[in-house]
Amino acid sequence: KAGVTQTPRYLIKTRGQQVTLSCSPISGHRSVSWYQQTPGQGLQFLFEYFSETQRNKGNFPGRFSGRQFSNSRSEMNVSTLELGDSALYLCASSFGTGDSQPQHFGDGTRLSIL
Amino acid sequence: EDQVTQSPEALRLQEGESSSLNCSYTVSGLRGLFWYRQDPGKGPEFLFTLYSAGEEKEKERLKATLTKKESFLHITAPKPEDSATYLCAVQAELRGMRFGAGTRLTVKP
């Protein structure tokens, strides 16, 4: 069974640009969550999507947004990039939402802002 | 606000030297506590879910336990391949998972 797939694995952008990251969940999983991981703040929850609807949202500015498609694939977008947005962005999928099913993570997209 | 504190930050063990990692949490409406392992350059790998105080789960050399305020990950006779960062996370109703900062474990042969 294929795991969670994130593309691209690495990205380099400059300040002010925008970026879109992609996540394909495990087959049959309908919930997709996004996290930001940095050395200083650790893993922080961004948002969760289930059946194309945002279910939960973390404490991040509106520059961070996401969406989910009917096939459960998800994208997240960051606009007007800042140096502090440099991080590993992780996507995780689970079968359901709110039922404490374990989330399974991809290997992330490493975003570097110059 | 949900809080998760892991200790120690780093732990160095000799191969075969058993020890425990701690995860203290404060959360209202706990739905589950999760343990993950993360290797450098990789995403977290799911290990265990614990749902209620008194519950225990085992997998190879790892055993996770849960009380009302903390969880322990016991590592018995560790091997060098157990070296990784171990992350604890809590899930509450209608909120995303909150992770601790992790414990970086190094097992020397």
Q: Tell me: the pLDDT tens digits for A32-45?
A: 999 999 999 999 99
The answer to whether the CB atoms of A100 and B101 lie below 8 A apart is no
Residues of chain A with pLDDT > 90, as a percent, come to 90
Average of per-residue pLDDT values in chain B? 95
On chain A, the residues whose CB falls within 8 A of the CB of B49 are: 100, 102
| Higher per-residue confidence, A98 vs B45 | B45
Task: Quickly state the pLDDT bin for A99 (edges 50, 70, 90).
Answer: low
Chain A residue with minimal CA distance to B42?
A: A107
State the Cα–Cα distance between residues B90 and B3, nearest whole angstrom: 9
Residues of A72-87 as b/e, b for ≥16 C-beta within 10 angstroms? bbbbbebeebeeebeb
Question: A66 is written with which tokens?
Answer: 């996401």
| Higher per-residue confidence, A95 vs B15 | B15
The gap from C-alpha B39 to its chain's centroid, in whole angstroms, comes to 14
Per-residue pLDDT tens for B38-51? 999 999 999 999 99
State the Cα–Cα distance between residues B62 and B88, nearest whole angstrom: 14
Q: What is the mean pLDDT of residues B62-71?
A: 96
Residues of chain B with pLDDT > 90, as a percent, come to 88
For testing the chain A interface, which of B39, B97, B103, B104 should be mutated: the one with the most A CBs within 10 Å? Answer: B97
